[in-house]
Structure 1
């Protein structure tokens, strides 16, 4: 057997590395990771819209000497199998390069250490034209943009030729205000524990265009109505803690309530928030174990893993995805079973606990003079829960759909059928899965409104949809009736 060396084509591989799945926000976060690992306390991101759009990420960390910087510019500069310091947010030795290449065609890194300034540049157009792994050393650093913003020690990462935002030769039109605003919110969430100076972490400050970011705590622990569970040690290197967020009535304003909903709303963002070395990796997932329902929409689970858990959790190079190990899956299942159903107990049916039960019909009949107007009840818990999970554009579209259904009600056809053959009029039963979701959503929505479980069951016994299949309702809720 004869061994052979097959060197990759630089011009092909470098372009392929640009498309491994970074978003603008995740790419920025990867650069911030390096700054935190370098013990930076202040990180500035400058992204000033202009004809020649550039982005600079500047920190006051320990900095790198010439040889260290040259090594850091190498693709795959760190072995992911090596044991890392517990505060090391890197893994593959690729993040600086692949995150940058995903956004720009020219990457310059300047670093100050021990009074020396060194700088190297990757220019992808040069790599493509020469078909060689050519990196440029910058001898005249004083002309590098934003270098005047650096402190005595630290590093400047400069992105130029941002073709993924501006198009080739700056031909595209990007909404810079939106891009920068979304990046601010993203970083405020991903690094919220560092921005808050959580116990055991050095507090950092991140500025984006001179605006200091405030942490966005997805668990809202500062609100006294938040219900935390005890911290559970799942296995070595992994801890878990569940939080039930406050009901809407416990917020000072609608704006505050929406802030902690996070983009997409409470229904979308329920589930696991996975942290690696206190840095958010992913959030809003049950890892396929359970569906997202209104009953669990206020539940968020914080899972902390250390940097030695990367292989078990299959953390990817972008640090935005992971897989749930089997030993943790059982704990999550048990947690969901606990929070995803009412208390397992006997419900003793009573005659009329509620003097005027609210039945929350799907349709309202409204008398206006000598006419009766039929309209869909937007306050029905199932419709209201779904509507609350939508963003503004989706909510407007849903409103249009409801209006279409209302205005297209087949009044004449229904009246004719009822007059001639009442027994022929029927409605299709819900599929079992849809019915189960309806039961859990209805029950969960009313429970989050603060209603007692017995009162909710009394209400549900007055709803035609549920009465016809009452035994199924009790089975879905895990309740025995006597």
Structure 2
């Protein structure tokens, strides 16, 4: 009996809404659009992202070679290219989905207009219309003069326009978004992800990316222009994969704190240590050891650059968003071996030098202040960890933090403490930190100390104060070092 084949097409209205939740952030969606511009050999890319009344509108214009009417129509199709096709070395795309899924993840109306040989073609995906008609229907624009941003196109190039950007403003269009923060974070993200193109490094065509009038400056995560950066020779791990390791400079080599923090990247050095994976010179993933090692305070200045060719996508399992990958076993073995070498500081043998501190009570969490009116106890707001955490907060929350610290300090139960200490002092204990909390605290405090002390001095300071003094072996383990 012959088998019966039944055609089962997906429901357009349901599927297109599901595609919106594929996992793009605003920044990664922008980066995916820029990939197309670079592939189109654009030299200038201009992004304008502005709140319009209670909505948000984003336009990305490039001066690449543009697309003809038929080519643009094909590009607007979901799955417009086969990921298994052989791609050009400089091609930053893969699935033929990025333009659409990145845009759908942020807006409900996508318009793409392209000019080639003086002719303009334009099409619009309107998600509301797709749902209403439950059909994969695209709108061919004959009213190109009404398309916002079209005037910025030169003799050739492409405009990508996002309208009804609801993922930032919310479905009700409330517009309660800190647009300045969104734009600032996007500028930093793009400066990092495309830093090799912005800098025009050898072998890469220079690209100028401008966002809201600001021409982005390349943010090199390896700070290679600093003479104090330690760089290993580049090696070929396997065909299509190159590797090089870097040790970033200590804070003492920087002229100002801002420069040091800039190269720490958002989240700081401790968070951003690890592998920086580039596909066709474009940064895909950064700040991860791919499960091969733990992030420790002593390796916070270590970063490893891995370059892979565009034909490595399937081997590395690069996803549609180009923000995740899986390291193949042959590379994992090499990186695991390399970590033992480049991570030597994390396994170095610490020999106590008996450094003397200016005070045995360095960095107290509580201050004891005695004056004519009596003795007052309060939280030490100058403690490095307190200062570091406060500085990491948005300025609008710092006042609330100060109030909370003052409230906690004012609520010290002095009468209960006096009673308990007077009657049964041996039974009074402080709350014990959980193991993971203690490890996080050790790494954070060490990272703060390293900003103005060398490794050995920072370790000596920690060994002399609580809670590290009483749990020294656990503290050393958290830092990844041994003591003799």
Structure 2 equivalent of residue 34 of structure 1: 36
Structure 2 equivalent of residue 339 of structure 1: 343
Superposed, 1:56-455 pairs within 5 Å as: 56-166=59-169, 172-337=175-340, 338-339=342-343, 341-342=345-346, 344-345=348-349, 347=351, 352-354=354-356, 356=358, 360-363=362-365, 365-369=367-371, 371-377=374-380, 392=395, 399-400=402-403, 402-427=405-430, 430-437=433-440, 439=442, 445-451=448-454, 453=456, 455=457
- Which has the larger displacement, 15-24 or 186-195? 15-24
Flag the 1:247–1:339 CA change in 2: closer, same or farther, 3 A: same
SS of the aligned residue for 2:283 comes to strand
TM-score (norm: length of structure 1): 0.85
SS of the aligned residue for 1:87 comes to coil
Contact 1:382 1:441 (C-alpha < 8 Å) held by counterparts: yes
Of the three residues 7, 17, 20, the one matched with 1:18 is: 20
Taking the aligned partners of 2:381 and 2:165, their CA distance within structure 1 comes to: 46
Question: How much does 1:62 deviate?
Answer: 1.2
TM-score (norm: length of structure 2): 0.85
Q: Which runs of 5+ in 1 are unaligned?
A: none
Flag the 1:49–1:440 CA change in 2: closer, same or farther, 3 A: closer
SS of the aligned residue for 2:418 comes to helix
Q: After superposition, give the CA deviation of every residue in 1:131-165 in whole Å (9 maximum; x if it has no partner).
A: 22222333453443322221111112222333434
Taking the aligned partners of 1:122 and 1:221, their CA distance within structure 2 comes to: 43
Structure 1: 4+ residue segments shifted above 6 A: none
Contact 1:123 1:135 (C-alpha < 8 Å) held by counterparts: yes
Flag the 1:408–1:144 CA change in 2: closer, same or farther, 3 A: closer
Q: After superposition, give the CA deviation of every residue in 1:218-261 in whole Å (9 maximum; x if it has no partner).
A: 22223333333443433332233333333334333333333333
Taking the aligned partners of 1:264 and 1:448, their CA distance within structure 2 comes to: 15
Taking the aligned partners of 1:182 and 1:361, their CA distance within structure 2 comes to: 34
Question: How much does 1:82 deviate?
Answer: 1.6
CA RMSD of aligned residues (A): 3.3
Q: Which runs of 5+ in 2 are unaligned?
A: none
